[in-house]
Structure 1
Amino acid sequence: MRLHVFIVAVFCCGFVDSRKIRGISSSYKRFYKEKKSFLCIDGSKIIPFEQVNDDYCDCEDGSDEPGTSACPRGRFYCTNLGFRPHYIPSSRVNDGICDCCDASDEYNSHARCQNTCWNLGQQERAYVEGQMRTLDEGLQLKQQLIEEGVLLWREKQAQLRDLQQVAEDLQIKLEEHRRRKHEADRLKEQTLKALEAGDSDLKRQNGTVSSTFKLLDSNKDGSITVEEVQARVTLVHDEERILSEDEAVALLGGGHQMDLFKFQHMLWDILTRGDKVKIKDTHSAAGGLVGEDPHLQAADRAAEWEATNLKKVEEAYDTVNTEISDLQKLLTIDYGPDWEFLFLNSQCYKLKVYEYTYTLCPFNQVTQKSSAGTEVSLGKWGMWAGTPKDQYSQMVYENGEPCWQGGSRSTTVTLTCGTETALRSVKEPSKCQYIMDFQTPVACQPVLKQRGIHSEL
């Protein structure tokens, strides 16, 4: 009798073990409480509870066979205690390949599976802890960069105000120098007109007569000869023709030479009128030598001096306005809510990938340079293009050099959290469309809960 009781007990125990519901998570256990019938989770069918996990698919959603491979749409839940739980397709159950780290998917196969969940959990915990340390350090560095960004922003604002004040001062100087140059030019013009009209005092006239005489007296012997007149004097209406000897003699008063006294009372008047003859390469006798007049020379020097000073002030004014324009453009860029990205401006980061060197200059451009030295623009700064929750997670650079297939090159830069600022990777997933991974502390974001090990760990 005792023997029969033992056999029944063993049979009963074996029956209970075979009815163990495998492949379900704790949140679904309420659907699999042992009773007379089982309702498919999608509500489509009621079956006897004995048909759960009987290796035959009764429910369309596969919910009656969570622990077998009978249903094509079924899922098996890997508990993976010590690691992250997850689902696998039920077709992988007892297929001889270990898909769950706790080997629960191969409970009735010949596969020799070891439970590796604890080691995997340790690795992931170490990884998550490392990520958290990186995040903490990155957030500390970010705070420093925010403080630096605020100071730099204020510094740029102050610099802009100073430049604008300098521009205002230079504007006043510019107007003053323009006025003085105008006066110098007007005085020079008046002096020139006075000389050309002969409206000068005797001293100036004598100086002009003497200068003209010296110009004609090429051999400096104190007299003007026929040859010297022919060499320096020409007809007003026929400048190409050389005066004949008789014409030169007539200008010399019938003689073959003339001293300064005769020149002043005879030939000077003829040259001054300028209706018949003139000194070569001049508009009139007086006009040809007005440049030697001391008053005109002084006026000319004054005009040149004022022109030089005006040019210097204009150049300084243009330089300051260029700096103001560049600074205003720099300050209109969105550097984040706390100006934390401002430090990236005017910086460039390089990465070599095979035969190409890629250069990212934030808020400016992206370039690609081959080993042969050919440089190609992959886009110019366009805008921030991150998600609504984190718009500063991506940069877009547009309108690069044309691609041979049409269109222009462009680059999308994804910013990731890190303790260093560096260009980490460059890919070209489609022709002339590039993506970059750019790591920097200012991309670190504080989080309430770091994604990592499941609570079951």
Structure 2
Amino acid sequence: MHFHMIIVAVFWFGFVDSRKIRGISSSYKRFFRERKSFLCIDGSKIIPFEQVNDDYCDCEDGSDEPGTSACPQGRFYCTNLGFRPHYIPSSRVNDGICDCCDASDEYNSHAHCQNACWNLGQRERAYVEGQMRTLDEGLQLKQQLIEEGVLLWREKQAQLRELQQVAEDLQTKLEERRSRKQEADRLKEQTPRPPEAGDGRLFRGQNSTVTGTFKLLDSNKDGSITVDEVQAKVALVHDEERVLSEDEAVALLGGDHQMDLTTFQHTLWDILTNGGRVKIKDTHGAPGVGEDPPLKVADREWEATNLKKVEEAYDTVNMEISDLREKLAIDYGPDWEFLFLNSQCYKLKVYERWGMWEGPPKNQYGRMVYENGEPCWQGGSRSTTVTLTCGTETALRSVKEPSKCQYIMDFQTPVACQPVLKQRGIHSEL
């Protein structure tokens, strides 16, 4: 009789121990140490320990029945050795369906479940290892893109400086062209009407400005016209071959033997340009005699055309500078790693405009927002949120419309790979 009691006692303690640990995670085992009483984990009630896992719910939080389906709000812990442990609702315990990959939830049912945790864990470990390899390759590609981004940034900065220098040069040239055009317009206003054939005015091709004509007559460039210079350059209209006499020359000089520019403008100049009896001899515009002839019509047209070309070139360069400055003002990431995406198209036409980076604090550049797109029918403007994920290729992976005219895209690119993900490694329980 005593022998049978010992066997029953051993059997009883083994039964209590199995009930005690079933459906319990290691972090909760301290609450289920065998003792005379059990305190509900929420502290609401104390019950005899033999009522734990007795298929009757005594605690309001269901903590006394972790291994049965007695409590509706209870949870059963799947150990799943070799795979990921997790909780299932206690209502699924012994329901004939294997919810734990180690089949621990069907310990007292007719279900025949095989332990699939190792195979599942092996597949997950292979997946995680593949993700780690992708992360390594992605980080290497990201470093290349960072280096390319830095070089491209420097190239654009150098291009901006070159364009600014070109703009400065064009501005200087433009000011010169405008000044020349203004001078040409001024000379055009001062130039008298061309003489008619046979009259006593200056013939076409000779210098017809006051100063130019004065310099043409002033051969020795001493600032005055003398009798000899008048005889050498002025002739009668109807008898050009005859040289004027000294008295005739003195008469043209206003009764004096020389004349300065001021006196010339009010005396001899009027005689030469108002159809008088004398004219300047035809020198055929010989170079070195007087100043350069005034701009002809063709010359003025050439100056105007050239000025227009310089103005167009100046405007074009300024537009390029403005466009380049706008591109350089965009936030391309801390290391310019997103610069390579500028002006790239990945087979998806969108109408939204760039809004902002809207990632979480630990990954600010993990999400892009495009706003103010085309108006949506009976709604606001379209918008798109692009989530960036780590990958070895740059590609658009998915597009969804969770709400009207609000789009979500998954965009894979190496520049989204973060070294911090690699530091986490693979979960030790796998």
TM-score, normalising length: structure 2: 0.75
Residues 67, 93 of structure 2: 8 Å contact kept: yes
State the distance in 2 between where 1:80 and 1:196 align.
Answer: 114
Q: Which AA in structure 1 matches 2:332?
A: Y
> 1:111 and 1:12, CA in 2 relative to 1: closer, same or farther beyond 3 A?
same
Q: Secondary structure at 1:336's aligned position in 2?
A: coil
> 1:94 and 1:176, CA in 2 relative to 1: closer, same or farther beyond 3 A?
same
Residues 187, 299 of structure 1: 8 Å contact kept: no
RMSD: 2.6
State the distance in 1 between where 2:196 and 2:46 align.
Answer: 125
Cα drift, residue 10 of structure 1: 4.4
Listed as ranges, the matches of 1:151-166 within 5 Å are 151-166=151-166
Superimposed CA distance per residue, residues 343-363 of structure 1 (whole angstroms, 9 cap, x where no aligned partner): 11011111xxxxxxx23xxxx
Whether 2:315 is the aligned partner of 1:318: answer: yes
Q: Secondary structure at 2:296's aligned position in 1?
A: helix
Residues 394, 413 of structure 1: 8 Å contact kept: yes
Residues 67, 90 of structure 1: 8 Å contact kept: yes
2:39 counterpart residue number: 39
Q: For 1:414, which of 382, 387, 412 is the aligned residue?
A: 387
State the distance in 1 between where 2:346 and 2:412 align.
Answer: 11
Q: Which AA in structure 1 matches 2:420?
A: V
Cα drift, residue 298 of structure 1: 5.5
Q: Secondary structure at 2:361's aligned position in 1?
A: coil
Whether 2:377 is the aligned partner of 1:404: answer: yes
1:248 counterpart residue number: none
Superimposed CA distance per residue, residues 126-183 of structure 1 (whole angstroms, 9 cap, x where no aligned partner): 0000000000110011111111111111111111111101101110000000011111
* Unpaired runs of at least 5, structure 2: 207-283, 286-292
State the distance in 1 between where 2:177 and 2:200 align.
Answer: 31
> 1:447 and 1:160, CA in 2 relative to 1: closer, same or farther beyond 3 A?
same
* Unpaired runs of at least 5, structure 1: 208-293, 351-357, 360-366, 368-376
2:326 counterpart residue number: 329
Q: Give the strand-richer structure, 1 or 2.
A: 1
Cα drift, residue 391 of structure 1: 0.9
Superimposed CA distance per residue, residues 107-139 of structure 1 (whole angstroms, 9 cap, x where no aligned partner): 011111110000000000000000000001100
Q: Secondary structure at 1:390's aligned position in 2?
A: helix
Q: Secondary structure at 1:127's aligned position in 2?
A: helix
Residues 139, 444 of structure 1: 8 Å contact kept: yes
Q: Secondary structure at 1:27's aligned position in 2?
A: helix
State the distance in 1 between where 2:89 and 2:200 align.
Answer: 116
Listed as ranges, the matches of 1:55-66 within 5 Å are 55-66=55-66
1:235 counterpart residue number: none
State the distance in 1 between where 2:428 and 2:358 align.
Answer: 34
State the distance in 2 between where 1:324 and 1:380 align.
Answer: 21
> 1:322 and 1:399, CA in 2 relative to 1: closer, same or farther beyond 3 A?
same
Whether 2:122 is the aligned partner of 1:125: answer: no
> 1:99 and 1:35, CA in 2 relative to 1: closer, same or farther beyond 3 A?
same
Q: Which AA in structure 2 matches 1:338?
A: D
Whether 2:423 is the aligned partner of 1:444: answer: no
Superimposed CA distance per residue, residues 236-275 of structure 1 (whole angstroms, 9 cap, x where no aligned partner): xxxxxxxxxxxxxxxxxxxxxxxxxxxxxxxxxxxxxxxx
- Identical aligned pairs, as a percentage? 80
State the distance in 1 between where 2:88 and 2:112 align.
Answer: 19
Listed as ranges, the matches of 1:226-241 within 5 Å are none
Residues 132, 422 of structure 2: 8 Å contact kept: no
State the distance in 2 between where 1:23 and 1:119 align.
Answer: 22
Aligned length: 343
State the distance in 2 between where 1:172 and 1:298 align.
Answer: 22
> 1:100 and 1:453, CA in 2 relative to 1: closer, same or farther beyond 3 A?
farther
Superimposed CA distance per residue, residues 275-307 of structure 1 (whole angstroms, 9 cap, x where no aligned partner): xxxxxxxxxxxxxxxxxxx99995221211111
Residues 390, 414 of structure 2: 8 Å contact kept: yes
Residues 103, 115 of structure 2: 8 Å contact kept: yes
1:306 counterpart residue number: 303
Q: Secondary structure at 1:47's aligned position in 2?
A: strand
Whether 2:363 is the aligned partner of 1:390: answer: yes
Superimposed CA distance per residue, residues 293-331 of structure 1 (whole angstroms, 9 cap, x where no aligned partner): x99995221211111110111111011101100110000
TM-score, normalising length: structure 1: 0.71
State the distance in 1 between where 2:392 and 2:294 align.
Answer: 71
